[in-house]
Amino acid sequence: MYSRRLLSYVSRIGRGSRAPGRFDNGKTFFSTTNRNAYPATINATSLSSSTYRKSAKFFVAACSVTAAVGTLAYCNAQANPLHAEETVSFAGRKGTESERTFIMVKPDGVTRGLVGEIISRFEKRGYKLVAIKSLVPSRQLAEQHYGDLRTRPFFKGLVNYITSGKAPVVAMVWEGRDVIRQSRAMIGATNPLEAVPGTIRHAFSISIGRNVIHGSDSFDSAEKEIGLWFGKPGDLVSWEPVNWNWIMAEN
């Protein structure tokens, strides 16, 4: 009896518009101007007992629908486990499908429009992107990232280059079986003149100082670098493509 009126009311509330409900005699019993809708006070002396009972039934029905919608939303959230990852190890579990590596497209790669090409190579290799962002790193972040090179003569110039702001870097985390070792093979040697044909640096790098991309070289490095760049809760997203287990199966 009340289904059509109730659906109309809920629809209007969802749009945040005024949604008065009226009795057959024209008396308004619901009124709102925003999403925080409350029933207006009903004056029992001005309404018949039959009309009052109608309003009470309508209000109970509205509360029931609200509870049902909330329950449905909760169930949907539980059934779709796309969520921010909270894991003990930033680099996942070594040697498994959850292994992760840190990849950074450097300012020269971003300037030359190579981000899409690099992402495509990792996707085609079967790896899963679980984090990505574009930023100009702070000097502190760059110095922490390249801390193992601090004693090298090119350290200052490298930090200046990464933090110059002439172009951002694109930082990413990729996940998949043996991704740390395999991504290093995909990237190629630091010096593009020594890189194997088919690797990213052989195909796109201009010089050793503009070699397009960085990738973690060990599990420990991946753990450190992912923690530096994506260490906040919610930075890493755990998700599974359709048929992922079948795709990753060995037989």
Residues identified as active-site: 214
How far is Cα 43 from Cα 52, in angstroms, rounded to an integer? 9
List the pLDDT tens digit at each of the 251 positions of the chain: 544 554 454 444 444 444 444 444 444 444 444 444 444 444 444 445 555 455 555 444 544 544 444 444 444 444 445 545 555 689 899 989 999 999 999 999 999 999 999 999 999 999 999 999 999 999 999 999 999 999 999 999 999 999 999 999 999 999 999 999 999 999 999 999 999 999 999 999 989 999 999 999 999 999 999 999 999 999 999 888 887 778 778 77
Q: Is 133 annotated as a binding residue?
A: no
Q: Is 51 annotated as a binding residue?
A: no
Confirm or reject CATH 3.30.70.141 for domain 84-248, answering yes or no: yes
Residue ranges per structural domain of the chain: 3-79, 84-248
Q: Is 156 annotated as a binding residue?
A: no
Q: Is 106 annotated as a binding residue?
A: yes
- The backbone torsions φ and ψ at residue 103, rounded to the nearest 5 degrees and listed phi first, read -125, 135
The CB-based long-range contact list for 49-57 (8 Å cut-off, 24+ gap) reads 51/23, 51/24, 51/25, 51/27, 54/23, 55/23, 55/29, 57/2
